[in-house]
Structure 1
Amino acid sequence: MSDDRPLPLDLNARLAEGGGGSESLGTVVVAGLANLTIAAAKLVAGLIAGSAAMLSEATHSLADTATEVLLFTALRRGARPADERHPFGYGKESWIWAFIAALFTFVAGAGFSITHGVHTIRTGEHTGHYTASYVVLAVSFVIESVSLTRAVRQVRRSARGWRVTPARFLRVTPDTTVKAVVLEDSAALVGLLLAAAGVGLSHATGDELWDGLASVAIGLLLLVVAATLARTNLSLLVGQAVPPRLHRLIEEELAALPTVERVDTLLTMLLGPADVLVAAKVDFTDEATGADIEAAAEEAERRLADRYHGIRYVFLDPTGRRG
């Protein structure tokens, strides 16, 4: 991979400019509709079969549906343009809503699944037939696969544009909405397999222990997803810098300016999924005039904004030579 290519600053750099027409928004909507449909089917099947694993999966899908609503809110509110009270825009608000979505998954999804699974293990109750569970699990797997396929295609397409692997793209992108969809849809498919294993083993053995264990396993899976998303969004809210390699490229770009002697300090911060702030203490050459420094500052902003999608603000602070 060439070192002069830009790194992924966002999943869709036009998000802040285009708002509701973004690809991320479409991915979230598709995932939300899929989860709502699946939740209703799982709930009916769970009630008919009296299966803890199926009811846990219904709660899982309901939690995912609520999460998609929160992520939809994150995309719309985070894409609002800057104003007088918020001169750097509303990008960080998208991470607040995404963080709330992670907490909702933690409390509603994981909490119910583990509690209901433990109850089933202790009581061993089963009140219905298994056929409805098998049908719903199969249909749900197909629908969840379609939703995940769309999200993965978006990630791969964006990763190709930045010439990085999809895994690395997901790791460094500050667009946590699509990251959440990929993680949740992946967890949903694993959860369906766990539920199928639990229902199948209980059916084969007549022991509801397996159904309860599957429910607990689904809850633990949701805990992992929620913790991962919460940690990611919290780091961004606190004020996360750009990836180290991009930091070095920005520093090299500033140091290459004709009147710059060296870059003493370089600070970067992600202001939203599509906005980056760059601030640097720069030692200019002794011969540089005030006009030269102004020209260098304008040139730095132009170069960085043209080369690296997402850099919106560049501030240079002239500093003297260190003793």
Structure 2
Amino acid sequence: MAEAQIKNESVGTVVVAGAANLAIAIAKLVAGLISGSAAMLSEAAHSVADTTTEVLLYLALRRGARPADTRHPFGYGKESYVWAFLAALFTFVVGAGFAITHGVTTILVHEHTGNYLTSYIVLAISFAIESVSLARAIRQVRRESRRWRSTPHRYLRLTADTTVKAVFLEDTAALIGLLIAAAGLTLSHLTGDELYDGVASILIGVLLLVVAGILARSNISLLVGRAVSERVHRQIEHELTGLPAVDRIDTLMTMVLGPEDILVAAKVDFRDTATGADIEAAADEAERRLTDRFPEVKYVFLDPTRSLRGTHGRPARTTQDENQRPVDQEAGGGGPA
């Protein structure tokens, strides 16, 4: 699948999720105001947070896709993680904060109008709409996991495309939140005790905290500068050591610059018989091999160097620290590969 198609699919997934969340947020707010249910109002805040998140994720996709220029020679891929982090922060502060606070207030005050029918109808419709949005996200996750020859679970855990991860987690949390809200409303309806409605609201807030925490952690790691996975690292090293003019790779470092951008830098010990022309040809061949196997590799830098004493036969180091062994990082470029 071409890179443009992948980005368009991600944009489509975000737009569908955003439109669904906006419609659901309005319906939940009306139902919450009519019924006075804390769980419904918390679900409305949940959907408002999700809608705002989709807007920020859309900005992340658009701004992160801008081409490189003189001020940003490696492009704007990392900016997508800034907006995605802000989206997670908004979910944490607004969605979770409101849900937990309103739930505690409901438990203490015990206020409810007693009108449950509207809430039940809105919950059922919301569940159907959220299911459609989640189904689209699941299709993209499965398609991308096949492209990376990975399982959907591994792809979600390792992918650097945090917009897909965010939509999937938020839609999943939305469906779980709807079930929690329905359970709280039903128990309050049957017992006449608003305690259950308040507890449901708090649980929805905790659910949002978990999702926001996962997404924030993932985006922070990518903003700091995360390497590709150990599996991809080994494959890149294999491609480079397979070049005829290369004796060994002394140091290999990688960095994820964006959802579809990887930088590769290596200190290469070329054979003693290699001429300048051989080295130039090897550099061109290295870039061709890596970009053919990993379209996400956008930058390849090779530094001819002599191997350190005693390094022959050892795997390439991932840092300049001679004593540090390669560590299994969390993600590759657009996925785990």
TM bracket (short chain): over 0.9
The equivalent residue for 2:318 is none
| Larger displacement relative to structure 2 (255-264 or 217-226) | 255-264
Residue identity matched to 2:158? V
After superposition, where does 1:152-301 map in structure 2 within 5 Å?
152-301=138-287
Output the CA distance in 2 between the equivalents of 1:128 and 1:321.
Answer: 77
Output the CA distance in 2 between the equivalents of 1:298 and 1:131.
Answer: 68
The equivalent residue for 2:23 is 37
* Corresponding residue SS for 1:91: coil
Output the CA distance in 2 between the equivalents of 1:230 and 1:90.
Answer: 19
1:310 to 296, 309, 328: 296
Output the CA distance in 1 between the equivalents of 2:148 and 2:214.
Answer: 24
| Larger displacement relative to structure 2 (224-233 or 305-314) | 305-314
Question: Deviations along 1:86-107, whole A, 9 cap, x unmatched?
Answer: 1111000001000000000000
| Larger displacement relative to structure 2 (168-177 or 96-105) | 168-177
What is the CA RMSD across the aligned residues, in angstroms?
Answer: 1.2
Output the CA distance in 2 between the equivalents of 1:236 and 1:13.
Answer: 23
Residue identity matched to 2:284? E
The equivalent residue for 1:53 is 39
Structure 2, unaligned stretches of length 5 or more? Answer: 310-337
* Corresponding residue SS for 1:282: strand
Output the CA distance in 2 between the equivalents of 1:308 and 1:194.
Answer: 42
Conserved in 1, the CA contact under 8 Å of 2:287 and 2:300?
Answer: yes
Output the CA distance in 2 between the equivalents of 1:295 and 1:244.
Answer: 27
TM-score, length of structure 2 as denominator length = 0.90
Output the CA distance in 1 between the equivalents of 2:59 and 2:132.
Answer: 23
Question: Deviations along 1:12-66, whole A, 9 cap, x unmatched?
Answer: 7614xx79x6100000000000000000000000000000000000000000000
Output the CA distance in 2 between the equivalents of 1:51 and 1:321.
Answer: 69
**Structure 2 residue 71 is the aligned partner of structure 1 residue 85:** yes
Deviation at 1:152, TM superposition (A): 0.3
**Structure 2 residue 83 is the aligned partner of structure 1 residue 94:** no
| Larger displacement relative to structure 2 (152-161 or 25-34) | 152-161
Conserved in 1, the CA contact under 8 Å of 2:31 and 2:40?
Answer: yes
The equivalent residue for 1:143 is 129
Structure 1, unaligned stretches of length 5 or more? Answer: 1-11
Residue identity matched to 1:35? N
Give the structure with the larger helix fraction.
1
Output the CA distance in 1 between the equivalents of 2:299 and 2:147.
Answer: 23
The equivalent residue for 1:14 is 3
Conserved in 2, the CA contact under 8 Å of 1:114 and 1:215?
Answer: yes
| Count of residues paired in the alignment | 309
Output the CA distance in 2 between the equivalents of 1:243 and 1:145.
Answer: 32
Question: Deviations along 1:190-238, whole A, 9 cap, x unmatched?
Answer: 0000000000000000000000000000000000000000000000000
The equivalent residue for 2:305 is 319
After superposition, where does 1:65-144 map in structure 2 within 5 Å?
65-144=51-130
Deviation at 1:157, TM superposition (A): 1.4
Conserved in 1, the CA contact under 8 Å of 2:98 and 2:205?
Answer: yes
The ranges of structure 1 where at least 4 consecutive aligned residues each deviate by more than 6 angstroms after the TM superposition are none
Conserved in 2, the CA contact under 8 Å of 1:13 and 1:310?
Answer: no
Conserved in 1, the CA contact under 8 Å of 2:250 and 2:307?
Answer: no
Deviation at 1:169, TM superposition (A): 1.1
Deviation at 1:162, TM superposition (A): 2.5
